[in-house]
A and B are shown apart, each in its own frame.
Chain A
């Protein structure tokens, strides 16, 4: 890696900095989708084992976030959005972040394997390695398709939750995986459109910086179509009831509408990109609601 472009501390880091390494805001979505995968499964799970599974998902995701920040400290230092993270801000030394990330990753996988089941532990290990090795180390700095493939890392929790409850991987959690996978590009590209200059300054080849805004807007629209199809597929295939089906259809229609507004916009001033900000904000709500509907639907059917 190039010479360090951020200060290095001689002081021991505060515990809050270790917590910040885990990207707590991202964890909320990870924990929620994992919990929904677990609750949507047809088999009931002992509450203690279920809690342990969700804890392991959170710890594994936190470990991946910590290792991501360890590797990307130089990039984070160049972006306003991330410059105040513990490493670029000089509140923690890199070795502490590395030890914390590796320790947390190993602990989460071992605990999942011993307390829950081997399948859930295996998928958790794959998801951590995928996020760190494939997305962070390999793709992020090399290709504008970074978040397309890297999106798989964020799609694993629902699969892990289901595997924790059943010990199997079945069609419904695979469709939920596909939904998060296909949701990731429009979600991140909407963000990349209105903070484009930040990524460009750091040399991250996000799609708007490499292919331009027009191409990014078209890609957002294109990805929204299969994403909506993946959202509705569980109902169409008879895996869920009408509560989920109608709710997911309506929410996907709103998502599609917002994506079309972004797609047909030609605004180049980032300060005026309201449709893009609206799509980004709605995309987060969308995922929470669609996954929530899966659980509500199952509870009502039960």
Chain B
């Protein structure tokens, strides 16, 4: 399947924004799991 330059640019934009959101979600989960571990120890 081939894409026009505009479509390729759109695909890259979506990939980039998804990667950023995924990184933020994973970072949030790391903090959450750390906090849960501490809370469970109390």
Q: Is B21 an interface position by the 8 A CB rule?
A: yes
Closest to A107 in B: B29
Taken together as a complex, chains A and B put the C-alpha atoms of A102 and B9 apart, in Å, by 30
Flag A10-25 by CB within 8 Å of B: 1 or 0 each.
1111110000000000
User: Quick check: B1 and A10 within 8 Å, CB to CB?
Assistant: yes
Number of A positions contacting B (CB below 8 A)? 12
* B14, A13: Cβ atoms closer than 8 Å: yes
| A99 → B minimal CB distance (Å) | 14
A12-B14 CB under 8 A given contacts A52-B32, A52-B36:
yes
Enumerate B13-42 residues with CB–CB distance to A below 8 Å: 14-15, 17-18, 21, 32, 35-36, 38-40, 42
Say yes or no: B42 contacts A12, CB within 8 Å.
no
A residues within 8 A CB of B7?
Answer: 11
Contacts of A12 in B (CB 8 A): 11, 14-15, 18
* Chain B CB within 8 A of A3 CB: no
In whole angstroms, how far apart are the Cα atoms of A115 and B42 in the complex? 13
* Identity of the chain B residue whose Cβ is nearest the Cβ of A91 in the assembled complex: B14
Q: How far is the CA of A55 from the CA of B36 in the complex (A)?
A: 13
Can you sample 13 A-B contacts with CB below 8 Å?
A: A11-B7, A11-B10, A12-B15, A14-B18, A15-B14, A15-B18, A15-B21, A48-B35, A48-B39, A49-B36, A49-B39, A55-B32, A115-B36
